[in-house]
Structure 1
């Protein structure tokens, strides 16, 4: 980033996935080297899921369209458009979209998302 007092992100860093999920990081480790916070536009396709993980960062999620399911310590939580959640660092969680429509949301991680600190289960 430059020394300007603002930066408009027009071209987020798109992270490749093999599960059909879209991740466009606007700010964070991958896009601008910011390790303190990351902000990403996400689209989870219908019937998508990923393994349980225990991240070393707080993650905030705001749902714009569709629904997203969270399994947090075996408790099932379903968020719909207009709802948000904060999941504290060190919490075991599984993210999924078992529904018939894609889910569009924003994810904010603090400190920034880091693949080495996600701790995904195999």
Structure 2
């Protein structure tokens, strides 16, 4: 029988401003370690520390613009677009636009504070 996930787990986010993370599947909400699926709502001007995660992260932007800094430059990912950050790549996410951003992140394997490797 399929499992209904009635509500996400709300998780504290890293960064300079409060960002809402709603995990629907992953280590916290469903004890999945192979994948995590979360909706993020980040305010204008939010920036998180850079990271070099061990997992692949596929991000689909639903509203606003997500800036993705990487060792080769910067990507501006707008609503209706997606970006894939590969394991071992350095990336830093931010929302410089006036409206912030809403996006869905899928991590393979699931996001873990132990495998994200954030900058000090």
Aligned equivalent of 1:28, options 22, 26, 29: 26
Gaps of 5+ in 2: none
SS at 1:9's partner residue? Answer: coil
Match of 2:13? 17
TM-score, scaled to structure 2: 0.94
Greater shift, 105-114 or 72-81, is seen at 72-81
Q: Distance in 1 between matches of 2:87 and 2:13?
A: 23
Q: Distance in 1 between matches of 2:12 and 2:68?
A: 22
Structure ID, larger Rg:
1
Deviations 1:46-87 (A, max 9, x none): 000011100000000000000010001141100100000111
Number of equivalenced pairs: 118
| Aligned alpha-carbon RMSD (Å) | 1.1
Aligned equivalent of 2:85, options 76, 87, 93: 87
